[in-house]
Amino acid sequence: MKICSTGDWHLRFATPESRIDDFLLTQFGKVKEIFKIALDNGCDVLTIPGDMWDNPKPSPIILSKYLSLFMEMSQKIKVFIVLGQHDMVMRSFQAVNRTPTYLFQCAEVLQIIGLNMKPVVIDKVAFHGLSWGQEYKPEPVKGCLNVLIAHAPVGLDENFEGYKSTLPKSFLSEHSGMDYINVGDYHSPFTDKSKDRIIFNGGCIVRKTKSIKDLELKPEIGIYDTKTKELKKVFLSILPVDVVYNSESLIKKAENPKLIEMIDALGNQKGVSASFEENLNRYIEANKPIPKVVKYLTDKLGEIHGFESTKKRK
């Protein structure tokens, strides 16, 4: 079996600040290219390690466009995914059925892995899933090659100020029963190994800001062969920076990179939202209240009464 792996997708309707290309067309082209790379390399499964969406309530325009594409591609390749924090309403497992990813699962064009804390086994390959914030350790299936799809803070350094990451080799050590790990959340590509065990992050497929890291981003697609346990990497095509971004807005990037990254991050938040949930999320991120308070708020605000399969989750 061959597995095509990616990083975060962050699909969105709004064009990021200072981008001058046709962002919707560029973004859609990248997703089509990912499917093409997967099929050209004879892949049986495509794995997406969370944050497929930039927010849990994407525009119906992009929902319909990508649903049509996934309906076509699902006839040719299986898509396994986990949930990132950007996919989840109030970051709560109580509200899984309010997510666009769940809608795609209902349409049978992808499958969310690991919510029931059980693997999906295909041809002696066991696929495990760890969505953002899930607190369980997947147990390897004996007699199978074990693959973990995870959305977790794993990276080489700080993704942004205050981001605390686990080193890739340490994450491999923590999940020693996994032969191959496709992890998302960190936006820059990386690959690491421990003997014949591999961890891979392809990096965010789109440049969301004009920060130094985004300007230098070269997203990768991983092709993992379960027979040889080898990983081949393919670069996702990207347009030159001066074609994508307003050149005047890039002049200031050399003045104070840290300051510019902070400004870009603030700019992307777009200030106060009309959504109570989004404003509360921003408050939680900024003020770091007591974890028990955060859990109570997110569980209560995200809860869907009568949806038994998620209400049973801890």
Does residue 37 form part of some domain? yes
The first and second tokens of residue 119, run together, are 């693997």
DSSP string of 261-280, one letter each residue = HHHHHHHHHTSS-S-HHHHH
- Residues of the domain holding 49: 2-241
234 compared with 271, residue with greater pLDDT: 234
Query: Residues 76-83: what's their mean pLDDT?
Result: 98
User: pLDDT tens digits for 51-78?
Assistant: 999 999 999 999 999 999 999 999 999 9
Query: Residues 220-242: what's their mean pLDDT?
Result: 95
Residue 309 scores a pLDDT above 50? no
User: pLDDT tens digits for 243-281?
Assistant: 888 877 665 554 555 555 554 555 554 444 445 566 666
Query: Residues 149-158: what's their mean pLDDT?
Result: 89
pLDDT of residue 81: 98
Calpha distance 150→84 (Å, rounded):
9
1 compared with 248, residue with greater pLDDT: 1
CA 144, 147, 151 angle in degrees (round to 5)?
A: 155
Model confidence pTM above 0.85 = no
Does residue 199 form part of some domain? yes
Does residue 8 form part of some domain? yes
pLDDT of residue 312: 38
pLDDT of residue 5: 98
Residues 6+ apart with CB under 8 A from 140: 126, 146, 177, 178
DSSP string of 5-37, one letter each residue = E-----B-SSPPTTB-S-HHHHHHHHHHHHHHH
CATH number of the domain to which 33 belongs? 3.60.21.10
Q: How confident is the model at residue 311 (pLDDT cuts 50, 70, 90)?
A: very low
191-195 CB contacts, 8 Å cutoff, 24+ apart: 191/222, 191/231, 191/233, 192/168, 194/169
Does residue 69 form part of some domain? yes
Q: How confident is the model at residue 105 (pLDDT cuts 50, 70, 90)?
A: very high
pLDDT of residue 280: 67
Query: Residue 76's CB: how many other CB atoms inside 10 A?
Result: 12
pLDDT of residue 114: 95
Residue 159 scores a pLDDT above 90? no
199 compared with 272, residue with greater pLDDT: 199
Residue 117 C-beta-side C-alpha neighbours within 13 Å? 13
Query: Residues 89-108: what's their mean pLDDT?
Result: 88
Residue 14's nearest CA partner among 161, 205, 209, 189 is: 209
Residue 31 scores a pLDDT above 60? yes
The proportion of the chain whose per-residue pLDDT surpasses 90, expressed as a percent, equals 62
Calpha distance 194→214 (Å, rounded):
28
Query: Helical H runs in the chain?
Result: 23-40, 60-73, 100-106, 168-174, 212-215, 241-244, 247-251, 257-269, 276-287, 291-302, 308-311
111 compared with 239, residue with greater pLDDT: 111
Q: What's the number of domains the chain is made of? A: 1
Place of tokens 């997510």: 99
Does residue 154 form part of some domain? yes
Residues 6+ apart with CB under 8 A from 251: none
Provide the β-strand partners of residue 78.
45
pLDDT of residue 94: 76
Average pLDDT of every residue of the chain: 85
Does residue 222 form part of some domain? yes
Does residue 280 form part of some domain? no
Q: How confident is the model at residue 212 (pLDDT cuts 50, 70, 90)?
A: confident
pLDDT of residue 91: 73
Residue 4 scores a pLDDT above 50? yes
Does residue 285 form part of some domain? no
